[in-house]
Homo-oligomer: A and B are copies of this chain.
Amino acid sequence: MKQIPSNPLNDLNFSGGPGVLPKIVLQQVQESIQAVPGVGLSILGISHRSDWFAAVVAELENNIRQLLQLPPSYHVLFLQGGATQQFSMVPMTLLAGKTAAAQYLHTGYWSGKPLPEARRVGPVDVAWSGAACGFRRLPSDDELHLDPQAPYLHYVSNETVEGLQFHRVVGRDDVPRVCDMSSDFLSAPGDYERFSMIYAHAQKNVGPAGVTVVVVKDALLKDAPEDLPGFLDYRAQIQAHSIFNTPPVFAIYVVLLVTRWLLNEVGGLAAMDALNTQKAKALYQALDDSDGFYPARAALQDRSKMNVAFNLPTPELESAFLAAALDAGFSGLGGHRSVGGIRASLYNGLGLGAVEKLVGFMEDFRKRYR
């Protein structure tokens, strides 16, 4: 279980998720609890059937299409149930009744999670697994056994737990790519048109827990089954513009505020990526300059810009590090319970100043304990 230090500034939160949100967004959210500007009513008491909320959803759909540079042939949905619900919805929609296996890359903790859910529905082929190497690296292109007949290829763009990130699009262009981008969504520009579906829960880079963004190409759904429960049917959700049933109004509104911040304050995904790259570079540099005191977990070429996972020479030193970090006001630095160690998550909302403070703290700690 994780301890939380007091830090009402919310500026040193390295949590793996729910993650830190930009300060200006937190201020706007706080204001909206009393009254949404231009509306004059608490965000918690506004009907999801109001004109205002329809405009929120429409603006947010457009902002996401604009940020990802996607044409109108992509639908943008805001669903509940987290990435976990997508682990089931994807095969229910694309794998049910198929004889060819869907291909999955197993590159870490999170990409392992959808496997049992997909296997309930149809045949699954793991096109590559990093289990044997302890998920310390990602595959090269020639290691992938890609099947041109597969209904889709599923992979996770950024492994939150192990700190691994694909820095390229993988897979075949003639097989639909379905990608879980939960932990690096809207963190950098990319060739998003090469994906047929992208999903991401909000609580890393784009909002609070409780809403999941799904971006899906219209053509992917042409043969989707007709007999799914309504809330698990992408087409029913598309038709309703995400208001098939009462949506998580608050969470969706916060995501809208984050996209406005990305567009108007940050200046788009290229600018966001420049800042994220700077943050990651500063922290990896500190690891590389530590004479092996802070070994990085991930192979050099696959290091994540979002989650920097590392160790210390002994478990005792790791505990001492986490305790000292808590005392210094840093939160969320404990590694995921499945791997332990240390993990610093550098999501969009985290400032460069926080990373610089952490680097300073780490250098002090190393001098004291090495």
Question: Does A291 count as interface, using CB distance less than 8 angstroms?
Answer: no
**Once the chains bind, are A4 and B209 in contact (CB under 8 Å)?**
no
**Once the chains bind, are A231 and B39 in contact (CB under 8 Å)?**
no
Please measure, in the bound complex, the distance between the C-alpha atom of A2 and the C-alpha atom of B53, giving whole angstroms. Answer: 10
**Once the chains bind, are B254 and A44 in contact (CB under 8 Å)?**
yes
Copies per complex of this chain = 2
**Once the chains bind, are A210 and B1 in contact (CB under 8 Å)?**
no
The stretch that binds B, out of A5-13, A280-288, A303-311, A353-361, is A5-13
Restricting to A230-283, which residues have a CB under 8 Å from any CB of B? 230-232, 244-251, 254
**Within 8 Å CB of A245, what residues of B?**
81-84
Question: Does A171 count as interface, using CB distance less than 8 angstroms?
Answer: no
Q: Which of A3, A80, A83 has the most CB of B within 10 A?
A: A80
**Once the chains bind, are A231 and B81 in contact (CB under 8 Å)?**
yes
Question: Does A170 count as interface, using CB distance less than 8 angstroms?
Answer: no
Please measure, in the bound complex, the distance between the C-alpha atom of A29 and the C-alpha atom of B208, giving whole angstroms. Answer: 14
Question: Does A35 count as interface, using CB distance less than 8 angstroms?
Answer: yes
**Once the chains bind, are B17 and A44 in contact (CB under 8 Å)?**
no
**Within 8 Å CB of A97, what residues of B?**
none
Question: Does A71 count as interface, using CB distance less than 8 angstroms?
Answer: no
Question: Does A364 count as interface, using CB distance less than 8 angstroms?
Answer: no
Q: A interface, by DSSP: helix, strand, loop or mixed? A: loop
Q: With contacts A42-B26, A250-B209 known, is A34 near B47, CB below 8 A? A: no
Count of residues in A whose CB is under 8 Å from the partner chain:
70
Please measure, in the bound complex, the distance between the C-alpha atom of A211 and the C-alpha atom of B47, giving whole angstroms. Answer: 16
**Within 8 Å CB of A29, what residues of B?**
33, 44
A94 CB, min distance to chain B CBs, angstroms:
15
Please measure, in the bound complex, the distance between the C-alpha atom of A264 and the C-alpha atom of B241, giving whole angstroms. Answer: 40
**Once the chains bind, are B15 and A44 in contact (CB under 8 Å)?**
no
Question: Does A62 count as interface, using CB distance less than 8 angstroms?
Answer: no
**Once the chains bind, are A249 and B18 in contact (CB under 8 Å)?**
yes
**Once the chains bind, are B51 and A1 in contact (CB under 8 Å)?**
yes
Give 30 CB contacts A-B under 8 Å: A1-B49, A1-B54, A3-B51, A4-B39, A4-B41, A4-B46, A4-B47, A5-B40, A8-B34, A8-B35, A10-B34, A10-B42, A10-B45, A15-B45, A15-B47, A18-B246, A19-B45, A21-B45, A29-B33, A30-B34, A41-B331, A80-B82, A208-B249, A208-B250, A209-B249, A210-B210, A210-B248, A210-B250, A248-B248, A251-B251
